Amino acid sequence: MGVGVVYPIAAALKKAGNKVISIIGSRTKDLLILEDEMKKVSDQLLVATDDGSYGFHGFVSAVLQNLIDSGEKIDQVFTIGPVPMMRVICNVTQPYNIKTIVSLNPIMVDGTGMCGACRVSVGGETKFTCVDGPEFDGHKVDFALLTSRLRMYCDQEKQAMEGSRCGCHGN
């Protein structure tokens, strides 16, 4: 799903004259979206699937590591998707000092900076993702805190999912 968010960024970077290398991935081929659109705004498009059903067999982080190892000069990385993926991408780029922008997706309630539900820690400072982000310097994000806060309502979400199969939602 992160591809939908990164697409306009890639398009704008390309329009501004940058060389754009895009890496998109999904669990399996059928879940991959916007491949053609991303191709149009990229100088190079690399695809990865976890199960190897299409493109590189593995994670997008491995594709990025291969790219770095090949000597490709990368000025900046934008990574958008599941938190574990963004965390790993940041771990890949940090030793090379490649500026890495993440787009965070904490639990949000009011979306106006008043409830504090979306708070994250960036560079030791508390930020509200809805008004201060959602893009942040990935190397400064406290991913452990973000991950634990995202799990806060796991039990209730599980119950809600089970409840949705009770028949009252037509499932």
Residues that bind ligand FES (CB under 6 A): 108-111, 113-118, 128, 130
Shortest spacing between CB 115 and ligand FES, in angstroms: 3
Q: Which is nearer to ligand FES, 78 or 128 (CB)?
A: 128
Shortest spacing between CB 104 and ligand FES, in angstroms: 11
Q: Which is nearer to ligand FES, 26 or 129 (CB)?
A: 129
Shortest spacing between CB 86 and ligand FES, in angstroms: 19
Q: Which is nearer to ligand FES, 89 or 118 (CB)?
A: 118
Q: Which is nearer to ligand FES, 108 or 150 (CB)?
A: 108
Q: Which is nearer to ligand FES, 43 or 110 (CB)?
A: 110
d(CA 171, CA 158): 16
How far out from the chain centre does Cα 165 lie? 29
Residue 51 near residue 28, CB atoms below 8 Å: yes
Shortest spacing between CB 98 and ligand FES, in angstroms: 29
d(CA 108, CA 47): 31
Alpha carbon separation from 58 to 70, 86, 95, 137 (Å, rounded)? 18, 15, 21, 25
**Lateral strand order in the sheet of 135-137:** 76-79, 99-103, 135-137
Shortest spacing between CB 170 and ligand FES, in angstroms: 30
Pairing of strands 99-103, 76-79: parallel
